[in-house]
Amino acid sequence: MIFTELFNPYHSKGVSWSTVCPITRIDSETLVNPMDNTMKKVYDSVIARDPNQPEFHQAVEEVLESLVPVIQAHPEYLPVVESMVEAERIIQFKVPWYDDSGKLHVNRGFRIQMNSAIGPYKGGLRFHPSVNQSILKFLAFEQVFKNSLTGLPMGGGKGGSDFDPKGKTDSEVMRFCQSFMMELWRHIGANLDVPAGDIGVGGREIGFLFGMYKKLANEFTGVLTGKGISYGGSLIRPEATGYGLVYFAREMLATKGKSFEGASVSISGSGNVAQFACEKVLDLGGKPVTMSDSSGFIHDPKGIDREKLSWIMDLKNKRRGRISEYAQKYPGSTFTASEPEPASNGLWNIEVDVALPCATQNEINGEEAKMLVKNKVMAVAEGANMPCTPEAVEVFLTNRVMFAPGKASNAGGVATSGLEMSQNSLRYNWTREEVDSKLDQIMVDIHKNAAETAEKYGMPDNYVAGANIAGFLKVAEAMTAQGLI
């Protein structure tokens, strides 16, 4: 079977792709699911409207490629696709704040309210100097499909600021968060739009944001998730993205009779997602050997055990230090700076069974993906949003590496945010065990849904297509029922 037949929804019925889809360009050298003319028009209009948004284009392109067979089977859904690529509302505002020396700084704040067909807008806030509309629109777009896959009633949104929390004091971060919320509060609400954390926004920031919202709105509601346990947060929410990622990867490995037991695992990032992915890998008998931050990565061939992980958590969450300190603390481990870093010297050239990119977008390129393949990686599961470039994804698919796209494999975070919203509405708290078992079940269900949908559309084992199509169908049905307004 040629690779492109994997994308043929009718392959199992013995009908060749060229018969089903004669107008589609097929590149038999690659596994890129090609767009047909209809989807190409949608894609071209997205580029024409916002030519300077490469991250958004990248996220849209992948989804449109996946949806080709769906629109061929259901042409009535084409207007849905045309509508979904446009945000329902984009809010941009000024965030002035004073540092500890009394100097004024002016940042930009954003909230992208992408799609509310199946529930209130839901998605994180990112504070990072790179934040702009393109990055937030890609994240908000991904979030629509991800939230749909969770099975919970949540639409998609994302927001944030180009503010850099690194090197700022607690009081500076507090003043920034208060100024940010001074504008954002009028656009959000427990039944309207419920933000949460993402890069640079953790428990500390959510606390400051919630305090200011409560003051301005004069009400105590579940308007943010990721809150502290003492004021309406859910147990397991901090752990949820990392744990959920490993639950998903466990399911994926099990389809091939594999498991984490004894598996070596490379993890990138050392923030929220990376830390709890590392913890769950240890729970399942695996051996994490790397972690990173924006300054470089550490490699510990003996493995990052629980004691070392707890040291990393203290370093990152309390002392807010750099991962390079790990190599000084633990002899036998090495630190490699990220600049200048030839890929062959990089994190993804380390031989492992499973790779879990958990830092940021586009951190594994095609060349690095080839290194992982050369080193016989079994599975790659995205903890971050879009950490693998399209070229990297293609390398994994063509080489039969099990690959989990972020919108499926990192959905545990937002799913548990959904559980936090439910608990807030109920004015009730579930136990750790209750939330963890609901999270586990949601990840099992997402895996099953993505795998079965991929199979149904003739692309077995292609979780990218399965997740995109399954996430799309629920939203498409809801948008159509509501009159596409």
Among 173, 273, 439, 446, binds ligand NDP (CB under 6 A): 273
For residue 237, give the H/E element and its range: helix 237-254
Element (H, E) at 298: strand 296-299
Residue 295 has phi, psi (to 5 degrees) of: -90, -15
Residues 6+ apart with CB under 8 A from 352: 263, 264, 265, 266, 289, 290, 372, 375, 377
Q: Which string of DSSP letters, residue by residue, matches 90-130?
A: EEEEEEEEE-TTS-EEEEEEEEEEEE-SSSSEEEEEEE-TT
Smallest distance, ligand NDP to C-beta of residue 199, A: 4
E strand map for 162-202: 193-196
Q: Which is nearer to ligand NDP, 43 or 248 (CB)?
A: 248
Write the interaction track for ligand NDP spanning residues 287-306; mark x where CB under 6 A is met and - where it is not: ------xxx-----------
Contacted by 304, from ligand 2IT, ligand NDP, none: CB < 5 to 8 Å by type: none
Tokens 């629920």 sit at which residue? 474
The site partner of 123 among ligand NDP, ligand 2IT, none (C-beta below 5 to 8 Å per kind) is ligand 2IT
Of the pair 307, 339, the CB lying nearest ligand NDP is at: 339
User: Tokens representing 374?
Assistant: 């050369």
Least CB distance to ligand 2IT at residue 172 (A) = 23
**Would you count residue 357 as binding ligand NDP (CB under 6 A)?**
no
State how far the Cα of 185 lies from the Cα of 196, in Å rounded to an integer. 13
Half-sphere exposure of 13 (CA within 13 A, CB side): 10
Partner whose footprint covers residue 122, from ligand NDP, ligand 2IT, none (CB < 5 to 8 Å by kind): ligand 2IT
CB nearer to ligand NDP: give 193 or 198: 198
Which of ligand 2IT, ligand NDP, none is residue 269 near (CB under 5 to 8 Å by kind)? ligand NDP
CB of 124 to ligand 2IT, least distance (A): 3
Q: Distance between CA atoms of 197 and 7, rounded to whole angstroms?
A: 36
Q: Which of 200, 288, 296, 458 binds ligand NDP (CB under 6 A)?
A: 200
Cis before 340 (ω within 30): yes
State the Cα angle at 410 between 465 and 357, rounded to 5°: 95
Smallest separation, CB 350 to ligand 2IT (Å): 26
Q: Which is nearer to ligand 2IT, 36 or 205 (CB)?
A: 205
| 198 contributes a contact to ligand NDP by CB under 6 A | yes
Of residues 148 and 333, the one with the C-beta less far from ligand 2IT: 148
Name which of 450, 441, 381 is nearest 415 in CA terms. 441
The encoded tokens of residue 456 equal 């149904």
For binding to ligand 2IT (CB under 6 A), which residues are involved? 122-124, 143, 146, 196, 198, 225, 385, 413-414, 417
The least CB distance from residue 406 to ligand NDP, in Å, is 6
Q: Which CB sits closer to ligand NDP, 9 or 124?
A: 124
Minimum Å gap between C-beta 234 and ligand 2IT is: 10
H/E element holding 299?
A: strand 296-299
Helices 54-73 + 463-481 axis angle, to 10: 80
Q: Is the dihedral of CA 229, 232, 236, 241 positive or negative?
A: negative
Q: Which residue is nearest to ligand 2IT (CB)?
A: 124
Count of positions on this chain that bind ligand NDP (CB under 6 A): 23
Residue 20's CB: how many other CB atoms inside 10 A?
A: 16
Closer residue to ligand 2IT (CB): 160 or 346: 160
Task: Give yes or no for residue 131 binding ligand NDP (CB under 6 A).
Answer: no
**Structure-token pair, residue 327:** 């190599």
**Minimal distance, residue 161 CB to ligand 2IT, in Å:** 14
Q: Which of 147, 264, 336, 385 binds ligand NDP (CB under 6 A)?
A: 385
Q: At what angle do helices 463-481 and 432-456 cross, to 10 degrees?
A: 100
Task: Write out the catalytic residue numbers.
Answer: 158
Query: Considering beta carbons, is residue 124 or 242 the nearer one to ligand 2IT?
Result: 124
Minimum CB–partner distance for residue 147 and ligand NDP (Å): 11
Binding residue (CB under 6 A) for ligand NDP from 68, 358, 379, 408? 358
- By CB under 6 A, residue 410 contacts ligand NDP: yes
Choosing from 384, 388, 395, 415, the residue that interacts with ligand NDP (CB under 6 A) is 384
Question: How many C-beta neighbours within 10 Å does residue 408 have?
Answer: 31
Binding site for ligand NDP (CB under 6 A): 197-200, 202, 241, 269-274, 293-295, 358-360, 383-385, 410, 413
